[in-house]
Amino acid sequence: MENQEYSVGLDIGTTKIVAIVGRRNAHGKIEVLGVGKAKSLGVHKGIVNNISQTINSIKAAVSEAQSSAGVPIRKVTVGIAGKHIRSLQHSDYIMREHPDKFITDDDIEALKDQVKKLVMLPGEEIIHVLPQEYKVDSEGEIQEPVGMHGKRLEANFHVVVGQMGSIRNIARCVREAGLEMEALTLEPLASSEAVLTKEEKEAGVAIVDIGGGTTDIAIFKDNIIRHTCVIPYGGGIITEDIKEGCSIIEKHAEQLKVKFGSAVPELEKDSTFVTIPGLHGRPDKEISLKTLAQIINARVEEILEMVNTELKAYGAFEQKKKLIAGIVLTGGGSNLKHLRQLANYTTGFDSRIGFANEYIANDKNQYLKGPEFATSIGLLMESLKIRDKKQGAETEEAIEEQPAKTETVAAQAEIAQTIQPAAAVQEQTIVNEQQENRRAKLTFGQSLMEKVKKFFEEVE
């Protein structure tokens, strides 16, 4: 299988690192070829804090993915998150040299490149330049300007920025793991590709991706990205709270959260207990599920209040910006029991749990449709989009080269047609010259005979 037939997404998370290999099938669905997963040892709250451990975790995940897919992995699309991520709005324009010609993708890229030259704060770097609406001359609110005519091309952009050091650390880990980073994608944007529908993006929706170290938010309205942010709290801090509140080790705290945790204490009974094994001969410990839910609820409410703050910052409670499709919860943290009900109550918006089942083909990897793999699937989809775009560009180049070849062949044929009559004329000229020479020779012979005859007559 050639490298062009498949793509790879690499999710470098706080709790796990996932490498996923896939391609599109004949129906446009994602066919997963292989998956590799490793415990993330060098990442804290979305930021690499141990280079060597992160490299080893990446190598382990990629090696497993290669073995299960049976293909080599060289290029990957990588996700990025962390509290260092911020976003801003920016407007910019270019003046086109040839307004009589229609606007092309090259003009759009030129405008994006101009935005990428924005002066950021020291140590910051632009990750994404995302167009929102365009304006051509005096015409505004244009979604797709390609094919239109105009002198001034203007656009509003959503610009995502991150700390240069954090970005370089991720790039270094990927490179030293023997891979090439094809693209770097903000994780909530990747997750939105996997779990949101076009109708939801049109109506207005917020995706809330609760990971191990961060909670990532992306807001869409009218099919346009409107707001992104990263909250530096996720499922990991809930586990820490359980560990401290119940005086147990982290492994047991995580198991309690996953198997028995609830976001709403009122739905748990006081009389229900779970037993935790004691350490080193110490007696077992009994923990009330209601107490467990109260510990979880306190932290989850705090995270949801931060989400609410971001919704207000965007203006989601205004009539024109209202999120008709509400909230989509995804990420491993969204598996928490009764989280959806608490989100409905806290934010006032209807919510659902986001699964990637709309885009994944029905195959053996059913578990990948779970919300904990939304970012991984989204990164694979982004990688496939990059591959499709490159193939489209190559096809266009081939089409552009074809007329040139046709013109060359036609020119050669025309030259041949010109040469053939010329050669025929030249050949006819040579024949005529030969005939003239023959005539000349015949006339000379006859003349000589006449002279000889005349000589003998005079002698007589």
pTM (2 d.p.) = 0.83
| Structure token pair of residue 431 | 């024949």
Q: What is the pLDDT of residue 405?
A: 54
Q: What is the pLDDT of residue 296?
A: 98
User: Would 179 be classed as within a structural domain?
Assistant: no
With a cut of 70, list the residues of the chain below it in pLDDT: 1-4, 362-363, 393-460
How many domains would you assign to the chain? Answer: 1
User: Would 262 be classed as within a structural domain?
Assistant: yes
Q: What is the pLDDT of residue 448?
A: 42
Which runs of consecutive H residues, i.e. helices, occur in 234-373? 235-246, 250-260, 289-314, 339-347
Q: What is the pLDDT of residue 413?
A: 55
Q: What is the pLDDT of residue 455?
A: 43
Domain of 227 in residue numbering reads as 198-357
User: Would 455 be classed as within a structural domain?
Assistant: no
Q: What is the pLDDT of residue 33?
A: 93
What phi-psi label fits residue 45: left (phi over 0), alpha (psi between -120 and 50 degrees) or beta? left
Q: What is the pLDDT of residue 102?
A: 95
User: Would 362 be classed as within a structural domain?
Assistant: no
User: Would 233 be classed as within a structural domain?
Assistant: yes
Q: What is the pLDDT of residue 388?
A: 86
The Cα–Cα gap between 47 and 380 comes to 21
User: Would 46 be classed as within a structural domain?
Assistant: no
User: Would 175 be classed as within a structural domain?
Assistant: no
Check which CATH number belongs to the domain holding 331 and give it. Answer: 3.30.420.40
User: Would 57 be classed as within a structural domain?
Assistant: no
Question: Are the CB atoms for 54 and 175 separated by under 8 Å?
Answer: no
Nearest to 166 by CA among 128, 209, 123: 123
